[in-house]
Structure 1
Amino acid sequence: MKVNRIVANLKSNDAALARSFYQDILGLDLLMDHGWIHTYGSDASMEVQVSVASEGGSGTDVPALSIEVDNLEEVLKRLKGRNIPIVYGPVDEPWGVRRFYVQDPTGALVNILQHI
């Protein structure tokens, strides 16, 4: 037996609210829209991972999601263009990533990172 997919489910009373963040800022595709649920994704091959943590590293809160991107500066530029505040960072961490935290429209803390 193997795990084929892990899906993160974020609660929101307005599923469309997250469209701008996940589609326009992060560049994910809208894969499914049933009105009450919107699923965003990419055709990129990804590893299945689940992290269990007592903190988010460097004394930060544990984020609900960690999203690795190939161009962190572009994501920062898109967020700043929409006046979305950065909660932590950007910072180069001692474990080899450059990252920042932001809250998505559902209120979830999201760790956006790029390996350096």
Structure 2
Amino acid sequence: MEFRRITPDIYSNKIEESKKFYSEFIGLKLAMDMGWILTFISESNPTAQINILHSDKQNIDNSNVAISIESSDVEGLYKKALTENIKVIYPLKIEKWGVKRFFIKDPNGVTVNIMCHINNSAMAENKKNV
């Protein structure tokens, strides 16, 4: 069996804020905007996607929803998050298992883990930058 993609669907009553967050901050391309659904893609890997679906509910609880986005520029996004006052809930850290990451909240309350895998030889060098 072949799987071509797995895409998270996030319900939102903050469509414009979501559009700005995922396109301007994260850097994904808005590939589809039908009003009730937005699809964002990575230009370098179009199967890496996130859907934002409009909901009329006032209180959408995404507090238990988390997504991970592997980036080639984790440090750059971390600095950008701090500059743009995006809520950082877990600061930039190199984990002992070889992952550099930080967590933020998107406009919908979704926890976004921005991360990259690093090899062991790069771990010592990268610790200097954290």
Tell me if TM exceeds 0.5.
yes
Q: Which residue of 2 aligns with 1:78?
A: 80
Q: Which amino acid aligns with 1:14?
A: K
Between the two proteins, what is the percent identity of the paired residues? 39
Q: Which residue of 2 aligns with 1:28?
A: 28
SS in 2 for 1:3: coil
What's the TM-score once normalised by structure 2's chain length?
0.71
Which ranges of 4 or more aligned residues in structure 1 deviate by more than 6 Å? none
More helix by share: 2
Q: How does 1:96-115 map to 2 (within 5 A)?
A: 96-115=98-117
1:87 counterpart SS class: strand
**Which entry has the higher C-alpha Rg, 1 or 2?**
2
Contact 2:41–2:47 at 8 Å: present in 1 too?
A: no
The one-letter code of the counterpart of 2:93 is V
Q: Is the 8 A contact 1:63 1:111 kept in 2?
A: no
C-alpha separation between the residues in 2 aligned to 1:25 and 1:82?
9
Aligned to 2:95: 93
1:31-42 matches, within 5 Å, as 31-42=31-42
CA displacement 1:57-104 (0-9 Å, x = unmatched): xxxxx7610000001111012212211121012111011011011110
Matches of 1:91 and 1:114, distance apart in 2? 11
Question: Do the aligned partners of 1:102 and 1:110 also contact (CA within 8 Å) in 2?
Answer: yes
**CA shift digits 1:17-53 (9 cap, x unpaired):** 21221111111100100011111111323888xxxxx
The 2-side partners of 1:47 and 1:105 are apart by 23
Q: What SS class does the counterpart of residue 92 from structure 2 fall into?
A: strand
Matched, 1:67 2:69: yes
Q: Any unmatched runs of 5+ in structure 1?
A: 49-61
Number of aligned positions between the proteins: 104
